[in-house]
Structure 1
């Protein structure tokens, strides 16, 4: 068994059941890139006219790569969606069939993206939430927007967190804004500082907020 075949069979495949095609396709593209198969899925291959012996040898290798990629696609869909691609004879053909059926139109994507932008804009921490849970909700929206191709910078996420926390975090927010360069502050560092402050609040410790850093 070749190394590429061994790697292919050892990596779990995301299963597409008809929902979240964009997420699934990103995962599959990464999988194909890890197996050095993405070019065969994306562009396919052609048979040259009057091929030389070397070209025939190369064509055989390309056909094998194509079969490997087609098999992966077949394994990565549930039975209901396998029926959509069962007639495909190449990986590119199967991939394009799914893309045509499930990829959203530009208009639909624009509407969904606008809705997600609005969700992010209106998102605020709830009174009963802890920092970890609030950040989890925010990160989910940010990741969805990024999956739709819109870049959201680290600084924008930091700023969003700082302006959307509940009132009890005002002291630590003030300290952060006065002592840190927000443009270089990472989300990880910010969340760490907020959780440290949160822990001090919960333990009723009188330690000054500056020591949360």
Structure 2
């Protein structure tokens, strides 16, 4: 643990992104399982005849819990630290943050609905580059996934083809005529649109 990279710090915003980053971070150090399983210390002294391997396992669980809890303490801002300071386990600390900042199922459903509305209304501006528009679109999709929303490549592709400005009309027509949209991937479509955009820029 001596050379641990500093964890991502949560200050009260974008909980979904932070929690995903934190899960990856703890997994990298083999500590995520203590968040999933939780940790409850023994309530009494172990019998003297307790097998050595069982004692070793309990010590490992205790160590992993407090390593994860220590990292969580350093992964929240000073203003949020009081919310988890009394937690006895890493799971308890995580659950406390999740309950407050991710909210109930109803709250998440409302959030997904709001994001879907953003997704449906996001139009590409005439002066906007494909990569910039795609970045905004994918960010909305990723947020929806964090809150439990389900999105397919087909939906993203359809949204892209609908919202592109007129300068892409010929490219869209060519794609629709030559490709089966059911097998077209988002990556392939983006590459094709960017290539078309570069050709248009060379003509200017």
TM-score by length of 1: 0.85
Aligned residue for 1:155, secondary structure, equals helix
Alignment-derived partner of residue 33 in structure 2: 39
Where in structure 2 are the equivalents of 1:143-154 lying within 5 Å?
A: 143-154=142-153
Are 1:117 and 2:116 counterparts? yes
The runs of 5 or more residues in structure 1 that have no matched partner are: 206-213
Structure 1 residue runs of 4 or more that deviate by more than 6 Å after TM superposition: none
Q: How does 1:48-197 map to 2 (within 5 A)?
A: 50=47, 51-197=50-196
**Structure with bigger RCO (C-alpha 8 Å, 6+ apart):** 2
Q: Measured at CA, do residues 178 and 112 of structure 1 come closer, stay the same or move farther in structure 2, by a change above 3 Å?
A: same
Size of the aligned set, in residue pairs, is 199
Indicate the residue corresponding to 1:12 in structure 2: 6
> For 1:135 and 1:95, how far apart are their aligned partners in 2?
32
Q: Is there any run of 5+ residues in structure 2 with no aligned partner, and where?
A: none
1:18-49 Cα shifts (integer Å, max 9, x gaps): 12222212221222222221221222234386
**1:75-124 superposed Cα distances (whole Å, 9 cap, x missing partner):** 10111111112222321222222223322122221111111111111222
Whether the 8 Å contact between 2:39 and 2:89 is mirrored in structure 1 is: no
Deviation at 1:157, TM superposition (A): 1.0
Q: 1:54 deviation in Å?
A: 2.4
TM-score, with structure 2 as normaliser: 0.89
1:124-183 residue CA offsets vs partner (Å, 9 max, x unmatched): 211221212211221111111111122211122112111110111100100011011212
